[in-house]
């Protein structure tokens, strides 16, 4: 969606894609508040913030400004172990809004244990921003926090692929896609990591023009940025020889985890023979199609065990296994331990 953000009231209109601003008035500054959770992805946050810094440099003016807040106002540590200083806590940052000191956007950045950080103060702050019509962007796993706050019901969204299965199972009403980012007039969700770069480059392009965005892109040596509609790539990145027909087969497998398809049905979907598909898998992945399919299902089950409190039998069903005993046997063969032991050590 490329429409401007609707206004919360008649006095305040926040636009995602206005025409490029001329150099001049202070009101053209786009102000962001970043809410960082413990264990946040440094890669995801840096991929978003650093292009903004470079855009200011290219433009010879601070078109973008940002402040960072943590739960308690103290330095917050990222997943890599580095500490980051902040200027406020979540409550202080949100309290400025009713007084008229509102940011143009709020960025929420989280990490692997996101479900443990849905604190009352954070949820309260997010709901306040939402009531005042301030766009909120969730990077990586932070989509979980928007779902926890009740903002994403019946709304399309995305999240880092590693958390997608858990999000879908925990919040059944969500329309979870595997796109790089999904734009809604007030809510933006992003897969995080390098997808944060794609999201912010679109913001820079729409605020300052494509020429400035391309200059930023050249500086990062990225060459280009990807559109929102691109899908996350969950296959091993080292498998560079994977061709499009094989990619199509794997996509079908990923979309049918709960109701596994026989190879003959998959072959019909992609217009290939079973033998052709078997040769493609052997040449590119050195595995049979159904063995690879089983690996996809077990990998999703492993994520659900480690990231949710769902009963093992429900996880087995959600991953296409007819019985818990068969699931446990396959899981043990793949990972060297049974599902309940894996949960205890995660």
338 backbone dihedrals φ, ψ, rounded to 5°: -85, 165
Class of the CATH domain delimited by 244-345: mainly alpha
Joined tokens for residue 183:
């734009």
What residues does 68 pair with on adjacent strands?
34
Is 16's pLDDT higher than 80? Answer: no
Report the range out of 9-13, 115-119, 141-145, 246-250 with the highest average pLDDT. 141-145
Mapped onto helix, strand or coil, the DSSP state of residue 180 is: coil
Mapped onto helix, strand or coil, the DSSP state of residue 106 is: strand
Joined tokens for residue 277:
């598909």
pLDDT digits (tens, 9 = 90+) for 312-344: 999 999 999 999 999 999 999 999 998 988 876
Distance CA 299, CA 9 (A): 47
Mean pLDDT of the chain: 87
Residues 6+ apart with CB under 8 A from 230: 179, 180, 198
What residues does 30 pair with on adjacent strands?
64
- Higher pLDDT residue, 293 or 22? 293
Q: What's the confidence (pLDDT) of residue 184?
A: 85
Half-sphere exposure of 105 (CA within 13 A, CB side): 24
Across 189-217, average pLDDT? 95
Mapped onto helix, strand or coil, the DSSP state of residue 21 is: coil
Label residue 24 by pLDDT band (50, 70, 90).
Answer: very low
Across 249-275, average pLDDT? 94
Q: What's the confidence (pLDDT) of residue 44?
A: 96
How far are the Cα atoms of 178, 264, 279 from residue 212, in angstroms, in the given order?
29, 50, 47
Across 30-49, average pLDDT? 96
Burial class (CB in 10 A: 0-12, 13-18, 19+), 229: exposed
DSSP, residue by residue, 308-334? ----HHHHHHHTT-S-HHHHHHHHHHH
State the angle between helix axes of 210-220 and 195-208 in degrees (0 to 180), rounded to the nearest 10: 150
pLDDT digits (tens, 9 = 90+) for 272-298: 999 999 999 998 888 999 999 999 999
- Residue 144, Cα to own-chain centre: how many angstroms? 9
Residues 6+ apart with CB under 8 A from 171: 147, 152
Query: Where in the sequence of the chain do the CATH 3.40.50.880 domains occur?
Result: 26-220
Joined tokens for residue 197:
């770069």
Q: What's the confidence (pLDDT) of residue 222?
A: 85
Asked if residue 180 lies in contact with residue 199, where contact means CB atoms within 8 angstroms, the answer is yes
DSSP, residue by residue, 267-312? HHHHT--HHHHHHHHHHHTSS-HHHHHHHHHHHHHHHHHHH----H
Q: What's the confidence (pLDDT) of residue 284?
A: 86
- Give the least confident one: 83-87, 219-223, 287-291, 298-302: 219-223
Q: What's the confidence (pLDDT) of residue 345?
A: 64
Asked if residue 196 lies in contact with residue 143, where contact means CB atoms within 8 angstroms, the answer is no
> Which is it for strands 76-77 and 83-84: parallel, antiparallel or unpaired?
antiparallel
Distance CA 235, CA 281 (A): 13
Query: Where in the sequence of the chain do the CATH 1.10.10.60 domains occur?
Result: 244-345
0.85 cut: is pTM over it? Answer: no
Joined tokens for residue 210:
């494509």
Q: What's the confidence (pLDDT) of residue 193?
A: 94
Q: What CATH fold (topology level) applies to the domain 26-220? A: Rossmann fold (3.40.50)
Report the 10 Å Cβ neighbour count for 168.
Answer: 16
Q: What's the confidence (pLDDT) of residue 11?
A: 33
């Amino acid at each position: 969606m490329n429409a401007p953000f609707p206004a919360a009231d008649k006095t305040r209109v926040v636009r995602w894609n206005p025409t490029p601003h001329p150099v001049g008035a202070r009101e053209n500054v786009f102000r962001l508040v970043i809410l960082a959770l413990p264990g946040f992805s440094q890669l995801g946050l840096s991929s978003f913030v650093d292009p903004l810094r470079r855009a200011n440099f290219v433009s010879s003016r601070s078109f973008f400004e940002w402040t960072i807040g943590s739960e308690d106002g103290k330095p917050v540590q990222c997943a890599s172990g580095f500490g980051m200083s902040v200027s406020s806590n979540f409550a202080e940052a949100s309290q400025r809004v009713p007084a008229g000191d509102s940011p143009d956007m709020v960025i929420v950045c989280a990490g692997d244990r996101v479900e443990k950080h849905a604190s009352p103060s954070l949820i309260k702050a997010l709901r306040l921003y939402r009531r005042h019509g301030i766009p909120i962007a969730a990077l990586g796993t932070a989509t979980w926090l928007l779902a926890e706050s009740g903002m994403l019901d019946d709304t399309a969204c995305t999240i880092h692929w590693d958390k997608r299965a858990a999000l879908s199972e925990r919040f059944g009403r969500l329309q979870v896609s595997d796109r790089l980012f999904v734009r809604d007039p007030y809510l933006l969700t992003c897969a995080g990591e390098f997808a944060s770069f794609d999201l912010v480059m679109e913001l820079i392009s729409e605020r300052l023009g494509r020429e400035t965005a391309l200059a930023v892109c050249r500086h990062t040596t990225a060459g280009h940025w990807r559109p929102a509609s691109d899908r996350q790539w969950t296959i091993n990145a080292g498998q560079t020889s994977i061709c499009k027909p094989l990619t199509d087969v794997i996509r079908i497998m990923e979309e049918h985890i709960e109701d596994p398809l026989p190879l003959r049905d998959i072959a019909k979907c992609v217009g290939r023979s079973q033998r052709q598909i078997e040769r493609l898998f052997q040449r590119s992945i050195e595995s049979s199609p159904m063995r690879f399919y089983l690996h996809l299902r077990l990998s999703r089950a492993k994520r659900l065990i480690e990231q949710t409190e769902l009963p093992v039998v429900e996880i087995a069903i959600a991953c296409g296994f007819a019985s818990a005993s068969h699931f446990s046997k396959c899981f043990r063969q793949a990972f060297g331990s049974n599902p309940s032991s894996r949960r205890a050590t995660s």
